[in-house]
Chain A
Amino acid sequence: MNKNAEMLKRLTTPGGVSGFESPAAQAAAREFKPLADTVQHDRNGSVVATKFATSRKRGKKAPLLLIDAHVDEIGLIVTRIEDDGMLRIAQIGGFDQRVLPSQEVIVHARRPLRGIIGSKPVHLLTPEERAAVDKLEDLYVDVGLPASSVRRLVQVGDYMSMAPWFHELRNGFYAGKAMDDRTGVAAQILMLEALKGRQHTWDVACVAATQEEYGGYGASTCAFRLAPDAAIALDVTQGQAPGLSEDETFPMGKGPCIAVGPNIHPGIYDRLCKAAKAEELPYSIEPVPGVTGTDAGPIQVTRHGVPTGLVSIPLRYMHTSVETVAMLDIERTGRLLARFVVDMEGPEKLRE
């Protein structure tokens, strides 16, 4: 595996379920450290890595660009411990319910426990039951321990993440859990690397935000505190795959998607497209007729409003344990952002 794939693996394998992001946030902070001037954890668990404007060293006050990617991932939580030690579960965020049976999970209990999501064996199912997707209340997690040990180690409210698989597929495609949205964090890191030695007049705050998938407040509260002059959210979007309409999906490995629509400031959109062209990068336009379901939504309406853009990386099998991305798209996103930052003029230019 190449260097960037190793980095993506380090980012995606730690658990970072919404509300319990600490392991993933720490992994992100470690990657940011050598590349940023300051790295902080805010009171909501988000990591903020700031690279100061090079013009700042000449004593100029710099405007602030917030670049957001969410560090949390979807997961499960214990709702009840049955008498036989089986764990009843609820979702934190929305897994595709069809993928849950027979998944391997890590239960973050007093010590991490490996578990399997169990359900009624297929032999005992009626034909109707076979045809239907298991209901969440019929599923349970089996940690393979006697009930007394389970009671000692596990309590209601303990969370679970998918087992940390990370696979290299052909042609620079990678599959694993939590690609949504650690690929965005990876793009932030690649951007910081690409900014090394280049002049820019904006301070850049990379935020690895908590609670995008549940609660939805890491990015909005962090944006409120930082009060940026402009912002870009990085997230994933639906990649093209067999059986999906081309109206709503985007090609894999053909570059990042730049969103346009009410949620997006036209000046940011134009500058992102210009940066892509200047870097000779392929990109897709992602039209979003309403509010995007990303951190760009809350960030745009923070305080008096923030000019906001959205760059998305196409991803297949969203909200499963085998989310698949093309490394090339992540690398291009990093380059695109670096160029955007370098080319930014004063914030007043964003006014029409």
Chain B
Amino acid sequence: MKELLKKLTEVYGPSGNEGPVLHILQKELKGHVDSMKIDVLGNLIVTKGRGKPRVMLAAHADEIGVAVTHIDKNGFLRFTNVGGLRPVNMLGHRVRFQNGTLGTIGEEKRDSLKDELKLEKMYIDIGARDKAEAAKRVAVGDMGCFVQPFVDTGSRLIAKAFDDRVGCAIVVEALKRMRKPACSIFAVFTAQEEVGVRGARTAAYGIKPDVAVAVDITGTGDTPESRTMAVGLGKGPAIKVMDGGMLASPQVKEALIAAAKRLRIPYQLEVLIGGTTDAWGIQVTLEGIPSGVISIPTRYAHTPSEMVDARDVENCVRLLVEYVRSL
């Protein structure tokens, strides 16, 4: 599974440009599922099994990134954010565009280091000597994402875009382990979560599931002087109670807790202040779709170096498989 995590986190795939991620997922899932299709918004929808209920699993394929807004006469690129990007996490980092063009991020002179860092005062330098040279490699509207290698420290893993490629990997692994599911599984690797939970909503409308579970990352409260959050790395999958957008449906939350207890794996209950997941968009669709979330505790979310615990990831897979089996 670490192989897959490495592939998925190192690949390029900002919102609206999920193609390369879906390509890996399709190759990985071949022979393990009944059908695969990509819909108009770019969601990869995979089905497995027949029967009731119809359960939707969602993990988003996109990641945060940058979009070029201007190429200046010296070939520097001005940019805007794609999703929740914090300027402070960007300085000195590298970004890559779909065609492989690499650039480093710099900033205009700041009068005082106390001044707030702003995206408008930053730029991407792709090493072009002038506008004409830059324009051969990038165009306005092109999107880039961070570049960072996947690192395995033994118990913990560091990479960019664990949000939410770790969720994608968990769903893939769970699909492989569920050999003959008794219900209809619709696994959706959703598009455009980071820009406002867009793909999940249209996918849910099309699928009309009876119940849905999103698999996504959450923050932790176990780092020095961090927020007061009960979730920590290595303490098991987090089962969402509430986040910045939604309250998880009680029946899904309870079923997930029951599944974790049956497996005798550790689990944590999660109340996240700020932020939300695909489940928020799915829950409000149609007559309301009972939705819950299995969250992977993740440090340093939305930075180029997000960290997860390998045992948590494995336990998330087991929890998802057990939950679906019990439906």
Contacts and interface: CB of A to CB of B under 8 A. Distances in A.
B47 interface: no
Contact of A224 (B230, B246, B286): B286
B283 A156 contact: no
A92 interface: yes
Given A43-B288, A77-B241, A215 B247 contact: yes
A41 to B, nearest CB: 13
Interface stretch (B11-19, B127-135, B159-167, B221-229): B221-229
A79 B247 contact: no
A217 interface: yes
B242 interface: yes
A155 B238 CA distance: 13
B271 A217 contact: no
A92 B241 CA distance: 11
Interface in A219-277: 220-222, 224-225
A97 to B, nearest CB: 14
A36 to B, nearest CB: 21
B49 interface: no
B227 A43 contact: no
A49 B18 CA distance: 46
B288 A217 contact: yes
Contacts of A156: 230, 241, 268-271
Contact of B271 (A137, A157, A224): A157
Interface in B253-292: 253, 268-271, 273, 280, 283-284, 286-288, 290
A78 interface: yes
A173 interface: no
A328 interface: no
A350 interface: no
Given A79-B230, A80-B221, A80-B229, A90 B273 contact: yes
Contacts, number: 73
Interface string A84-120: 0000101010000000000000000000000000000
A215 B247 CA distance: 6
Contacts of A218: 288
A39 B54 CA distance: 28
B242 A224 contact: no
Contacts of B83: none
B250 to A, nearest CB: 8
A92 B230 contact: no
B245 interface: yes
Contacts of B242: 19, 77, 90, 92, 157, 214
A92 B228 contact: no
A18 interface: yes
7 A-B pairs with the lowest CB-CB distances in the bound complex, closest first: A19-B247, A221-B288, A157-B241, A80-B230, A225-B287, A156-B269, A217-B284
Interface of A: 18-20, 42-44, 77-81, 88, 90, 92, 137, 155-157, 211, 214-218, 220-222, 224-225
Given A155-B269, A220-B284, 11 more contacts: A18-B247, A19-B247, A79-B230, A88-B228, A156-B268, A157-B241, A157-B270, A215-B280, A215-B284, A218-B288, A225-B288
19 contacts: A43-B290, A77-B271, A78-B271, A79-B228, A79-B271, A88-B228, A90-B273, A92-B247, A155-B269, A156-B230, A156-B269, A157-B241, A157-B242, A157-B270, A215-B246, A215-B283, A217-B283, A221-B287, A224-B288
